[in-house]
Amino acid sequence: MADFTIVLGDCNTSSWSLRGWLTLKRTGADFDEIRVTFKDPDVKSHILVHSPSGLVPMLKHQTPSGEIQVWESLAIIEYLNELYPQAAFWPAGQTARARARTVSAEMHAGFSPLRNHMPMNLNEKKPLQEGMGEGVADNIARICAIWEDCRVRFGQGPEGRGDFLFGDFTAADIMFAPVVTRFQTYGVELSTLCRAYADAVLAQPDMREWAAGALAEG
Ligand SMILES: N[C@@H](CCC(=O)N[C@@H](CS)C(=O)NCC(=O)O)C(=O)O
């Protein structure tokens, strides 16, 4: 049995599970998975066996002094960031790090219209109009502004040169990864800069593995 166990929902639809899983994958640690499926009418009781919030992801870490439980995706990121500094979840520079934490928190706390009207569904393509409920256009504009600003200021700057928001793949990319798939599902048109960023996220090896898991779920 691995020291880490993560409780997750379906690959196809569980956006927060994707974030928790990407975070744990990034550490390189061995881990076990417990899966619940939202198709199961008793899913809530299955989650509550593991997670007091009744939500996934839920991380359990077996330590010599007992099991440590961490739920909430940002808390999982910070917990694993402490244990695995080499995973570089946050950019090295103070300004970039502050911005990465800020946009990650903005993602975590906001964008309800987008969440409600454009649910994650990796295996489906949907007409754009179906997802454009009230407030979604503003959410899309704000997300694209964040991506463009981060790419221009930090992603291609002296601190990090890479395809992601802050150059290398960081926790900020993990927080936005489900949004990238939503834009894909609903065919949201993106600027050249944002398209290139979204393509880089979709091509990231762990993202591909998760998408393959979604396909296998059918
Ligand atoms: N704020 C939580 C959100 C977790 C969340 O909403 N998870 C969803 C799955 S994507 C869930 O467990 N839903 C089960 C339910 O609502 O019954 C986090 O950051 O992890």
pLDDT in tens, 10-64: 999 999 999 999 999 999 999 999 999 999 999 999 999 999 999 999 999 999 9
Residue 170 CB–ligand 1 contact under 6 Å: no
Determine which residue's CA is closest to atom 9 belonging to ligand 1. 14
Looking at the chain, the domain(s) classified CATH 1.20.1050.10 span 90-208
Which atom of ligand 1 is closest in space to residue 44's alpha carbon?
A: 17
Q: Are strands 31-35 and 58-63 parallel, antiparallel or unpaired?
A: unpaired
Q: Which of 54, 50, 83 is nearest to 69 (CA)?
A: 50
pLDDT reported for residue 83: 98
Per-residue pLDDT of 88-114, as tens digits, reads 999 999 999 999 999 999 999 999 999
| Encoded amino acid at 175, one letter | M
Neighbours of 49 (CB within 10 A): 10
Third-level CATH fold of 4-86: Glutaredoxin (3.40.30)
Exposure string for 133-156, b = 16+ CB within 10 A, e = fewer:
eeebeebbeebbebbbebbeebbe
Q: Ligand 1 pocket: which of 56, 58, 59, 104 to mutate (most atoms <8 Å of CB)?
A: 56
Nearest residue by C-alpha to atom 5 in ligand 1? 55
**Residue extent(s) of CATH 3.40.30.10 domains in the chain:** 4-86
Tell me what the pLDDT averaged over the chain comes to: 96
Q: Is residue 73 within 6 Å of ligand 1 at its C-beta?
A: yes
Ligand 1: distance of its center to the CA of 15 in Å?
8
Q: 3-class DSSP state for residue 218?
A: coil
Question: What is the second-level CATH architecture of the domain 90-208?
Answer: Up-down Bundle (1.20)
Using the mean position of ligand 1's atoms as its centre, give its distance from the Cα of residue 56 in Å.
Answer: 5
Which token pair is 77? 């990121």
| Closest by CA position to 100, among listed 110, 92, 85, 90 | 90
Ligand 1 pocket check for 56: Cβ under 6 Å? yes
Cα 193 to middle of ligand 1, angstroms: 30
% of the chain surpassing 70 pLDDT: 98
CA of 57 to the centre of ligand 1 (A): 7
Measured distance CA(111)–CA(197) in Å, rounded: 19
Whole-angstrom Cα distance, residue 60 to residue 162? 32
Q: What average pLDDT does this structure show over 81-86?
A: 98
**pTM value surpassing 0.95:** yes
CA–CA gap between residue 165 and residue 174 (Å, rounded): 10
Distance 161 CA to ligand 1 centre (A): 33
CA atoms within 13 A on the CB side of 200: 21
148-195: pLDDT as tens digits: 999 999 998 665 579 999 999 999 999 999 999 999 999 999 999 999
